[in-house]
Amino acid sequence: MKLLLDLGNTRLKWALRDGADWRANGAVAWNENVADALAEAWSSLPQPAAVFGASVVDAPREARVAASVAVAFGHEPFWLRTPAEACGVRNAYAEPQKLGVDRFLAMVAARADGLAPCVLAGVGTALTLDALAADGRHLGGLIAPGPRLMQRSLLGATAQVRPAHAGTVVEAADNTADAVASGCWLAAAALIERFAARMAPALGGAPALRLGGGDAEALLPLLATPAQLAHDSVLHGLAVWVAAQ
């Protein structure tokens, strides 16, 4: 039995994996009391044999989670750093560890699910895009602000764009709130569609498109390109990697 950790920019997700079965799972946002939340959530769990983590956050937050793991289970987490190659996926980056481990594990999960060739979009604080060929080659990708971060950046950098309420996504807005929301969310959708179209020749035709991340479900209906949601792809990819060791 293994405890798997996904330390993302907005929250920590965890799952207890027993062979091929998920025994328990949960999440806690970084703006909560992480130590107390984990202590409560983990108090009734069976003892895992080992703990594995994938992290895109800073060392202090990793250390806080490691301390909670030590208190609850007496283990030290093994933090996976992005490799050049694993589980049939070959990293395109010349410096492999510069690729976010969340992006790499999402590709591992997609390949394990038989989706390659495909384009993967991670829709969260950042919008990440990656192209994965049928033979497991990572063809590279893009990073942009996620739609909510775009909105916050725009509001923080302008003097007169101060909508009084959250906007609705429409094709052409007649008020500032809707204009901001629509511009940011539709820009994210357009970038995903453009990347998928541009990568199609290298992937041998129109690739499968998979969306993950906290805002994936909200963005999905805005796409003209058929796509599917990926739930917990980092934890899934981490489980595949652990099983291969």
Report the catalytic residues.
Answer: 102
Largest pairwise CA distance in the chain = 58
CA distances from 71 to 26, 33, 38, 145, 221 (A): 18, 15, 10, 36, 43
Q: Name the amino acid, one letter, at 107.
A: M
Cα–Cα distance measured from residue 195 to residue 213, given in angstroms and rounded to the nearest whole number: 18
Residues 6 or more apart whose Cβ sits within 8 Å of residue 4: 14, 15, 16, 17, 51, 52, 53, 235, 238, 239, 242
Cα–Cα distance measured from residue 157 to residue 41, given in angstroms and rounded to the nearest whole number: 40
Give me 5's structure tokens. 């950790």
The DSSP secondary-structure symbol of 238 reads H
Give me 67's structure tokens. 């301390």
Q: Is 165 left (phi over 0), alpha (psi -120 to 50) or beta?
A: beta
Count Cβ atoms below 10 Å from residue 230 Cβ, excluding itself. 23
CA distances from 74 to 2, 4, 70 (A): 13, 15, 4
